[in-house]
Amino acid sequence: MTRESWTTRTGFILAAAGSAVGLGNVWRFPWMTAQNGGSAFLMLYLALVLIVGVPGLLAEFVIGRRARRNPVGALSSLSESDRWGVVGLIPVVTTVFLLSFYSVVGGWILRYLVGSATGAYFDAPGAYFDSIAFGPEAVAFQAVFLAATAAIVFGGVRRGIEAATKVMMPAIVVLLVGLAAWGTTLSGAGDGLSFFLSFDAAYLRENFFDVLGAATGQALFTLSVGAGTMITYASYLGEDRSLAADGATIAVFNTLIGVVAGLVVFPLLFAQDLPVGESGPGALFVSLAGAFSTLPAGRLVGVVFFGVMTLAALSSSISMLELPVAFLVDEYDVERRRATAGLAGLFLVFGAVNALRPAVFDFVASTLVDLLLSLGLLCFLLFTGWVLGTDATEEFRNGAGSLGRVLALPWLYVVGVVLPLGLTFTVTTGVLGVANVSLPSAAVAALSVTAAVAAFVGLRRSRSVL
Ligand code: PHE
C-alpha cells in the first residue's frame, strides 16, 4: 500500500502548528513558570524556543522527510543499523507518557466545558477542581477525550488529521482573538504584564541548572520537539519545499498564540485578584473558574474559552497518537484502524494511573516529560549531525530559498555540536534529579562534558561525517 501524504503545504503547516499549539501554551506554561521562579524562567524559555526549539524542529523535519517513515523506521533505515532503531523507540515511549497525562488534562477541559454551560462549578470554583481532578470520574472524561483523539486519527493523514486541523486552527485563532479583545476591557491587564516583566536574577543564579532543565523542557514541549511527532508529520511530506520556512512559520505562530492566550488569561486573573503565582496543575483551572463564575456573561465566555482549549488539546493529542500508529503501520503492517483502536485502549490503561494518582501525574507531567523530550532531541541531533551529516544539509536545502541554503551549514554545526553539548547538561541534571542525587554544579558540568565527548567520539568512530 502506498504511504499517505498531505494534500497541500498549508495542510502540513496547519497540522504541525496544531500539534504545537496546545495545553503547553495555556496550561503548562503558567504552571512551570510559577514552579521555577517566575519571570526568570519566562525569559529563558523564550530564548530557548529560538535557540534550541527551532533548530531542533528542523532536525526532526529533515529526518522525517528524508526517511518518509516513523521515527523508529527513520533512524534505522537512514543509518542502516538496527541499533539506531532501538534509539528510535525512545519517542514511542515518550508519546505513551505524553498522552497518558495529556488526556487527563483533556478530560478536565471537557469537564469544565460542560461545567461552564451548566454552571456546575459556579458555587464553589475553588473546591470544584479538587473534587473532580483525580478519581474514577476523571478516568471517564479522559476516556471521552481519548476516544475523540482516536476518532480523528482513525480517518488517516488526509481525511482525519489534515481535514480536522484545517477547521480547528482557524477556529482557535478567531475565538482566541475575540476572547483577547474582550480581555483587554477588564481592569488589571497592566498588572498582569508587570508580573512577567520583572526579572529575578538571584533565583536564577541559585537554581540555574534546574531552571535551565525545566525551561528547556517547556520550550521543547510547546513546539512538540523531542517527541518525534514532527518526524512523523514530516514523513508525510510528498514534495520538497522549504523546511526552514515552514519551521519558522510554525514557531512564530505558536509563540503568537501563546502571547494572545496570555492576553486572555492574565487580565482575567488580575481582574479577579486571584493568585497567579500559585503553583500546581490545577491553579489555572481554579483561577479561571473563579473568574467565569463572577463576571457578567461568564458562562458564555467560559464555554468559548474551554471550547478553544478543547480544540487546541485535540489538535495536539492526535499528533501524539499518530506516532505509535505510524510505527505499527509502517513496521508491522498493522491496519491503521486496528492500530488506532488498540493503542487508544492501551493509553487509557496507562493514562488511568495518572488520573487516579496525583503524585504519578505530577511526576510524569513535569519532570519525566521534560527529561524524555530533552533526551529524545539529543538523540535526534546527534543523529542529524553525526550520522546524516552532509545528507542532512542536502535535505535541508531541498526546496529552500537562498537564505535557507546559506543557513544549512551553520545549522548543521549548531545541531551537531553546540546543542548536544548544552542538552547533555539538562539531561544529566534531569537524570540526577530523578535519581535524587544532588551534586555540586561543577561536578554536573564535568559529568556532562565527559558524556558529550564520549558520545562524539563513539559516533565519529562509527561514521565520521561532521
Ligand atoms: N506542543 C503541545 C502543546 O503545547 C504538546 C506536545 C508535545 C505535542 C510533544 C506533541 C509532542 O500542548
- Grid cell listed for 267: 487580565
How far is ligand 1, taken at its centre, from the CA of residue 460, in Å?
Answer: 32
In this structure, what CATH number is given to the domain that contains residue 369?
1.10.4160
Query: In this model, does residue 241 exceed pLDDT 90?
Result: no
Q: What share of the chain is helix, strand, coil (3-state, %, to 5)?
A: 80, 0, 20
Does the structure show a pLDDT above 60 at 466? no
Query: Predicted confidence band at 2 (pLDDT cuts at 50, 70, 90)?
Result: confident
Residue 226, in any domain of the structure: yes
Asked whether residue 20 is domain-assigned, the answer is yes
Residue range 363-375: mean pLDDT, rounded: 91
Asked whether residue 2 is assigned to any structural domain, the reply reads no
* Candidate from 319, 366, 371, 373 with most ligand 1 atoms within 8 A of CB, to mutate: 319
Pocket of ligand 1 (CB under 6 A): 19-20, 22-25, 98, 221-222, 224, 227, 229, 316, 319-320
What HEC string does 437-456 produce? CCCCHHHHHHHHHHHHHHHH
Q: Ligand 1 centre and the CA of 202: distance in Å?
A: 31
Average pLDDT, integer, range 112-141: 92
Question: Cα of 318 to ligand 1 centre, how many Å?
Answer: 10
pLDDT value at residue 17:
96
- Mean pLDDT (the chain) is 89
The residue whose CA is least distant from atom 11 of ligand 1 is: 224
What's the domain count of the chain? 1
Contact 91, 346 (CB under 8 A): no
**What residue owns the CA closest to ligand 1's atom 9?**
224
Does residue 1 belong to any structural domain of this protein?
no
- Residues across the chain: 466
Is residue 41 one of the residues assigned to a domain? yes
Please give the pLDDT value at position 278. 58
Q: Whose CA is nearest to atom 6 of ligand 1?
A: 224
Is 61 domain-assigned? Answer: yes
- Report the distance separating Cα 225 and Cα 53, nearest Å: 7
Residue 182 lies in a domain: yes
Residues 6+ apart with CB under 8 A from 286: 125, 126, 128, 129, 274
Q: List the residue whose alpha carbon is closest to atom 10 of ligand 1.
A: 224
Q: How far is the CA of 25 from the centre of ligand 1 (A)?
A: 9
Mean pLDDT of 440-456: 81
**The pLDDT of residue 78 is above 90:** yes
- The answer to whether residue 197 scores a pLDDT higher than 60 is no
Radius of gyration of the chain (CA): 21
* pLDDT(381) > 70: yes
Pocket test for ligand 1, best of 316, 370, 380 (most atoms within 8 A of CB): 316
d(CA 255, ligand 1 centre) in Å: 13
Cα 367 to ligand 1 centroid, rounded to whole Å: 15
Is 4 a domain residue?
A: no
SS3 track for the chain: CCCCCCCCHHHHHHHHHHHHCCHHHHHHHHHHHHHCCCHHHHHHHHHHHHHHHHHHHHHHHHHHHHHCCCHHHHHHHHHCCHHHHHHCHHHHHHHHHHHHHHHHHHHHHHHHHHHHHHCCCCCCHHHHHHHHCCCHHHHHHHHHHHHHHHHHHHCHHHHHHHHHHHHHHHHHHHHHHHHHHHHCCCCCHHHHHHHHHCCCHHHHHHCHHHHHHHHHHHHHHHHCCCCCHHHHHHCCCCCCCCHHHHHHHHHHHHHHHHHHHHHHHHHHHHHCCCCCCCCCCCHHHHHHHHHHHHCCCHHHHHHHHHHHHHHHHHHHHHHHHHHHHHHHHHHHCCCHHHHHHHHHHHHHHHHHHHHHCHHHHHHHHHHHHHHHHHHHHHHHHHHHHHHHCHHHHHHHHCCCCHHHHHHHHHHHHHHHHHHHHHHHHHHHHHHHHHCCCCCCHHHHHHHHHHHHHHHHHHHHHHCCCC
Q: How far is the CA of 21 from the centre of ligand 1 (A)?
A: 7
Q: Which structural domain, as residue segments, surrounds residue 202?
A: 9-462
Average pLDDT of 24-30? Answer: 83
